[in-house]
Amino acid sequence: MPIEWHIDGVRRLVIAEARGTLTGEEMLRYQREVWSRPDVAGYDELVDVSAVQDTEPSPKLVQELAALSAAMDPERGRSRFAIVAPQRALYGLARMYETYRGMENRSTTRVGVFRDRAQALLWLAAHDPPPEAGRAEPPG
């Protein structure tokens, strides 16, 4: 299923949700489709993959996506990108994306990875608290 997204102009936030099987092609399509729009330049972003049951992205694709994303960042300003991934495998891929994105010199976006959507939204709404607050491993 493709990634569904909408723009919250009041909060200057793009909210995306993926369900079912998430493919690399869909991830790249979403990035190009949404972030090529001039009206969302500088907006924050929330991507929630809580309802994803299967995924095929490889570490190489995650690195490619991070490079593409950084290349599409506006030169000025700083935005935040929260990824909600409660599943262990997706959380790991999201952390990998966060690392690759942080290594890109062109990136002007700060990435935070969370297991809980409420924490991600709090981080996006706050001035600039550390994303580490949402990284605790669940018990068990």
Q: Let me know if residue 133 belongs to a domain.
A: no
- Threshold 0.75, pTM exceeds: yes
Q: What is the pLDDT of residue 33?
A: 96
Q: Let me know if residue 136 belongs to a domain.
A: no
List Cα–Cα distances, 138 to 55, 62, 100, in angstroms.
21, 24, 24
- Give the confidence band of 58 by pLDDT, cuts at 50, 70, 90: confident
Q: Let me know if residue 14 belongs to a domain.
A: yes
Closest residue by Cα to residue 47 from 96, 13, 10? 13
Domain boundaries, position 61: 4-128
Q: Let me know if residue 17 belongs to a domain.
A: yes
Q: Let me know if residue 138 belongs to a domain.
A: no
Q: Let me know if residue 135 belongs to a domain.
A: no
- The total of structural domains in the chain comes to 1
Q: Let me know if residue 123 belongs to a domain.
A: yes
Residue 92 maps to which CATH number? Answer: 3.30.750
Residue 96: how many CB atoms within 10 A of its CB? 16
- Sign of the Cα torsion 96, 104, 30, 117 reads positive
Q: Let me know if residue 140 belongs to a domain.
A: no
29-54 tens-digit pLDDT:
999 999 999 999 999 999 999 999 99
Q: What is the pLDDT of residue 25?
A: 92
